[in-house]
Structure 1
Amino acid sequence: MNNQPDRKLIFVFTGPDGSGRKTVADSVGTTLGIAKVLSYATRKPRPGEVNGQDYHFITPELYEQLESSGDFIESIALNGNRYGLRGIDIEQRLGKGGSIFLIVNPEGAQLLKEQYGDRLVRLFIYADRRTVEERQKESGVAPGIVQARMNQYESAIAYQSSCEHAFENYDLAHTVFEITNTLEHYLQRNLVERD
């Protein structure tokens, strides 16, 4: 029997928009029973997104209040919207025990790595440019947003070499399986096969 509690690590899923990082992260989090910490966003929910499940969708005015009071440890502007993570949300989740996961863009991942150091593990999720573009179009993302994201594709892909792990995402089940196995080594819950 393993009496050692889960290590308190922060797993950050990052990569280009349209790479499937959110779907992968949520599947891995559910499989491993890891708590998710949500970002705050000033944009309106996209089709299928749920407030409190995908993001905390808030008004630009509330975002400004939180930012001016120093609540955000990471805050960026992207495509005319603001996105931020509150440090207190991360600390409260870690305080409840076990590891947590977040989904952020490469800029956010870098800021968090600088703050949390070795406690933070970056998992870069990617697919080729054409696949990423097709996925966004198929999911109903507005053409202007798809184009803006594709303009950022190369800079997002360049961040891969900075991450601890990278996973090509063409088959969801395979990608989730690979990442789950990788994260079990970090969690050290003694769930590995015996010889």
Structure 2
Amino acid sequence: MDSQPDSRTAPSASTPDAAKDALERRGLMLILSSPSGTGKTTIARMLLEEDAMICNSVSCTTRPPRPGEIDGKDYHFVSQDQFDRMAEQGDFLEWAHVFGKSYGTPKAQVKAGLKAGQDYLFDIDWQGTQQLYQKLERDVVRVFLLPPSIDELRRRLTGRGTDSAEVIAARMDRARSEISHWDGYDYVVVNDDIAACFAKVKQILAAERLRRARQTGLIGFVRELMEPGDELG
């Protein structure tokens, strides 16, 4: 499980009393969805490397570990029987079967983290997005990445050199299906340039962190500002 950071925001060097006045904030769940080959994994990696305030949501999966993957860091690797029991007990915020394997987001870990001010990054499809939004609507920020064109998407998938023509054709069919759900997201970004796309995702995250409803420390802070005092002191 990921460790939880301090729930208070980092003080600004330009304000000596910032540590005292820092506001508590509820965390958020940033969802990145896109067809395979649109750059979602690259954007997610860049965000995790640059922003210490957000961490990857560690999902449970029934697929075997890939080389270099660590249990509990990349995924919680479980058997199908274990996964099915967890699903039946309601231990997942969302879960789905993808290409013959099962994936699910542990509920307890995420709920505790959000309360403590932790932000989570989710790399899930539109079905998982719907499930999360239905359960934790106020905490969810939905971002969908689009390719600049369908031909460019096909070129990217072919350029990987890892899939057969049949697999690429299946991925293209799935991509068209996923793209049809673009209007179920809060933000839609066309990834025609990875640096520009990343900058836009960062802007979305920064703005969502400042939403009044997430600034849980505002009420007490504003009350202090409104209290009568000795202004001349």
Q: TM-score range, shorter-chain basis? A: 0.7 to 0.9
From 167, 179, 203, the equivalent of 1:157 is 179
RMSD: 2.5
Segments of structure 2 that go 5 or more residues without pairing to the other structure are 1-17, 212-233
The SS at the match of 1:70 is coil
1:59 deviates by 2.5
Counterpart of 1:192 in structure 2 is none
Give, as a single letter, the amino acid of the residue that structure 2 aligns with 1:138: G
1:40, CA displacement in angstroms? 2.0
Give the partner amino acid of 1:5.
E
Counting aligned pairs with the same residue, the percent is 25
Which residue in 2 is equivalent to 1:28?
47
Q: Cα distance 1:52–1:149, how it changes in 2: closer, same or farther (>3 A)?
A: farther
1:82 and 1:49 map into 2 onto residues whose CA distance is: 17
Query: Is the CA contact (8 Å cut-off) linking 1:123 and 1:167 kept in structure 2?
Result: yes
Q: 1:10 aligns with which of 29, 35, 42?
A: 29
* CA apart distance, 1:148: 2.8
| 2:157 corresponding residue in structure 1 | 136
Q: Look at both structures and tell me which one has the larger radius of gyration over its CA atoms.
A: 2
Structure 2-normalised TM-score? 0.70
Tell me the distance in 1 between the aligned counterparts of 2:155 and 2:67. 17
What is the alpha-carbon distance in structure 2 between the residues aligned to residue 4 and residue 142 of structure 1?
49
**Distance in 1 of aligned mates of 2:67 and 2:150:** 23
Q: How many residues align?
A: 189
Deviations 1:125-171 (A, max 9, x none): 12133333333343454335433322211221111111110111232
Structure 1 residues 44 and 130: CA distance shift in structure 2, 3 A: farther
1:15 aligned partner, one-letter code = S
Query: Structure 1 pair 97/7, CA: closer, same or farther in 2 (3 Å)?
Result: closer
Q: Is the 8 A contact 2:154 2:172 kept in 1?
A: yes
Which residue identity is paired with 2:173?
N
Contact residue 7 and residue 188 of structure 1 kept, 8 A: no
- Preserved CA contact (<8 Å) 1:6 1:97: yes
| Residue-by-residue CA offset, 1:53-85 (whole Å, 9 max, x unaligned) | 443333223222322332122121122111111
Contact in 2 for aligned 1:20/1:126 (Cα 8 Å): no
What runs of 5+ residues in structure 1 fail to find an aligned partner? Answer: 190-195
